[in-house]
Structure 1
Amino acid sequence: MRGLKNKIAVITGGLGDLGYATGVRMAEEGCRVVLLDIHSDSDNRAATIGAYFWPVDISNEQAAQFACAAVEKEVGPAHILINTAARFVFKGVEATAEDWREVNSVNIGGTSLMAKYIVPQMKKNGGGSIINFSSVSGFVGQLNFATYNATKFAIRGLTKCWAQDLAPFNIRVNTLCPGYIYTKAFVDSCVKLDLDIEAENERASAMHLLNRQGKPEEVAAAAAFLASDDASFITGSDLVVDGGYLAK
């Protein structure tokens, strides 16, 4: 991808399968990568790809502000922000106020706080790229997914508003919308919902025209494209990487 070499890329949820795969790809493209995650990097996965790492709860404004300031001080002003961090709360009308606080605090609040404190750095650089992770769940209704889907619809709305707000500063804002991707989060969700993992994988695979779930690396490639100069005329858009899920 053109224009990524030596760019500073900040990735939230950086130890999750999607975030880490994106970090790997951005490092391969020559970026200086910063991984942020609420979990500690006990296995030194960041070091494996030559990335920086800070543990942070992005739903906490003070913590998010501190992490972003640390990025600028230790690495430099960021050019790219990729928001992959998410809470997975799957509830329907029975959702409690606490359920809503939990899912909104990261998926909407954390995404917004990161943009708030990274955008000034991008302005110093004369521009940048923000990529917010939504989902096919941000386009359709799904059974007992109201809490999660509401945040993914909201992320698409945030993206389109920010694209307008930040265009004068040459900051592009786009949404990446994966279909079902076989990740640890998928497995954990099956366990949490007491579902058979293999049966659920087969069911999810059949939802896609390509008859399989996607791979984290396939989503990471799309993120690298949106961050690069090859996507220089793309802003306020949704890039769907779903194996044909929404075409069915």
Structure 2
Amino acid sequence: MRGLKGKVAVVTGGAQGLGHAVAQRLSEEGCNVWILDLKQDGEKAAIAIQSESGNPVYFARIDISNESQVEKVFLKIGELSGRVDILVNNAAHFIFKGIEATPQDWKSILDVNIIGTSLVTQHCVPLMKKAGAGAIINLSSVSGFIGQSSFATYNATKFAIRGLTKCWAIDLSPYRIRVNSVCPGYIRTEAFDNSCIQLGLDIEEENTRISKLHILGRQGHPEEVAGTVAFMASDDASFITGEDLMVDGGYLAK
């Protein structure tokens, strides 16, 4: 895609699942990629991606809800890469609770999905201003558009991500920084399997049920979302900002 080669990209939650697919795609497109993740062996993912693409991939193990850690990693990125052109806010905490959600449940999910995302963006923006332009892609979801049983905690954060996207698009437009959200339907990743376990559901039975909710009759693949993220980061999307782009297999079209 146009305008990605040589760009510096930061992907939160990029050592696993959907984030890994995004980091891999951006690396394949010629970006220098920074993966920020809590995963203990995240460096292995970075090394594997770099060996395939031949482009530099760096790993930093951080908790994005910890401002001190976020500040330090962006100082490091500034020292080594000099700028950031692309930020993909993918990292998320998954808690599926309804009215029974405790204050600790709310604090736990908000600290990562909203405060963490905001901290990363806040500390990244100066490096984008230094670059003279940028693209921020926030991962929301179909869950940011609809109500779902026992999903109040998760959906609230995905609705909020869409609100942040539109506000930041306005605030950052004078600096030629575009901000958009990509909103997947159900994507078959380890996170899906883990959420089934958390909710006490049979993974394959739930996969069959969920697949039928999409017009295309299946869950999506991480690579399909990664391609959309790459497009939104590229010059091919240069006149798109403040938007929500669905990658949901027709989930919301029904």
Assess same fold via TM > 0.5.
yes
Look up the match of 2:174.
Answer: 168
Q: Give yes or no for contact 2:98–2:150 (8 Å, CA) kept in 1.
A: yes
Aligned residues: 248
Instruction: Report the secondary structure of 2:78's partner residue.
Output: helix
Cα 1:57/1:43, change in 2 over 3 Å: closer
Say which of 103, 112, 116 aligns to 1:110. 116
Say which of 130, 146, 153 aligns to 2:136. 130
Counterpart code for 1:92: G
Within the alignment, does 1:218 sit opposite 2:210 as a pair?
A: no
Instruction: Report the secondary structure of 1:107's partner residue.
Output: helix
Rounded Cα–Cα distance in structure 2 between residues aligned with 1:176 and 1:67: 25
Rounded Cα–Cα distance in structure 1 between residues aligned with 2:42 and 2:154: 29
Rounded Cα–Cα distance in structure 1 between residues aligned with 2:76 and 2:39: 17
Look up the match of 2:53.
Answer: none
Rounded Cα–Cα distance in structure 1 between residues aligned with 2:43 and 2:32: 20
Within the alignment, does 1:141 sit opposite 2:147 as a pair?
A: yes
Within the alignment, does 1:17 sit opposite 2:23 as a pair?
A: no
Say which of 211, 226, 244 aligns to 2:250. 244
Counterpart code for 2:155: N
Rounded Cα–Cα distance in structure 1 between residues aligned with 2:82 and 2:190: 32
Counterpart code for 1:198: E
Counterpart code for 1:152: K
Rounded Cα–Cα distance in structure 2 between residues aligned with 1:100 and 1:52: 32
Rounded Cα–Cα distance in structure 2 between residues aligned with 1:223 and 1:192: 28
Counterpart code for 2:103: A
Look up the match of 1:230.
Answer: 236
Instruction: Report the secondary structure of 2:82's partner residue.
Output: coil
Rounded Cα–Cα distance in structure 2 between residues aligned with 1:214 and 1:141: 20
Counterpart code for 2:76: A
- How far the C-alpha of 1:2 sits from its partner, in A, is 0.2
Instruction: Report the secondary structure of 2:182's partner residue.
Output: strand
Instruction: Report the secondary structure of 1:182's partner residue.
Output: coil
Map of 1:140-219 to 2, 5 A cutoff? 140-219=146-225
- How far the C-alpha of 1:43 sits from its partner, in A, is 6.5
Look up the match of 2:46.
Answer: 46
- How far the C-alpha of 1:134 sits from its partner, in A, is 0.3
Cα 1:55/1:246, change in 2 over 3 Å: same
Structure 2 length normalisation: TM-score? 0.96
- How far the C-alpha of 1:72 sits from its partner, in A, is 1.3
User: What does the per-residue CA deviation read over 1:38-80, in whole Å, with 9 as the maximum and x for residues that have no partner?
Assistant: 1122661101112100000000111111111111112221110
Rounded Cα–Cα distance in structure 1 between residues aligned with 2:182 and 2:41: 25
User: What does the per-residue CA deviation read over 1:198-237, in whole Å, with 9 as the maximum and x for residues that have no partner?
Assistant: 0000011000000000000000000000000000000000
> Which of structure 1's runs of 4+ aligned residues deviate more than 3 A?
none
Cα 1:199/1:47, change in 2 over 3 Å: same
Q: Give yes or no for contact 2:74–2:123 (8 Å, CA) kept in 1.
A: yes
- Which ranges of structure 2 fall in alignment gaps of 5 or more residues? 51-56
Rounded Cα–Cα distance in structure 2 between residues aligned with 1:68 and 1:211: 41
**Percentage of matched positions with identical amino acids:** 60
- How far the C-alpha of 1:156 sits from its partner, in A, is 0.1
User: What does the per-residue CA deviation read over 1:4-35, in whole Å, with 9 as the maximum and x for residues that have no partner?
Assistant: 00000000001121100001100110000110
Look up the match of 2:54.
Answer: none
Rounded Cα–Cα distance in structure 1 between residues aligned with 2:80 and 2:201: 44
Rounded Cα–Cα distance in structure 1 between residues aligned with 2:43 and 2:31: 22
Counterpart code for 2:98: G
